Amino acid sequence: MFQNFLLKKMLRTQGVPPAQIDMFISMMEKNPELFKNIAKEVEEKIKGGMDQSTAGMMVMKKYEEELKKLV
C-alpha cells in the first residue's frame, strides 16, 4: 500500500495522467511477479550498456502479450 502511494507520487511528478497511473497500479497488483521480472531484465540490459529507454522498450515488447492480458 505504501509502495503504491510512493509510486503514484513519483508518476505524478513525471506528468503521467491519473487514469494511466491507476491502470498501471492495477496491472501491478494483478501480477507483481511479471513486473519484478520486467524490472530485473531491464536492469540487466542497462548494466550491459544499453540505454534505459531502449532496454525498457525491448523488455516490454517481450512481455507484450502478458501485459495486454492485464489491461
DSSP string, 21-59: HHHHHHHHHH-HHHHHHHHHHHHHHHHTT--HHHHHHHH
CA distance 21 to 18: 5
* CB 23 within 8 Å of CB 71: yes
- pTM of the prediction? 0.77
User: What are the C-alpha distances in Å from 44 to residues 9, 36, 55, 62?
Assistant: 26, 12, 9, 14
Question: In the predicted model, what is the mean pLDDT of the chain?
Answer: 91
Question: Which sequence spans correspond to the domains of the chain?
Answer: 1-30, 31-71
The per-residue pLDDT for range 29-63, each reduced to its tens digit, is: 999 999 999 999 999 999 999 999 999 999 999 99
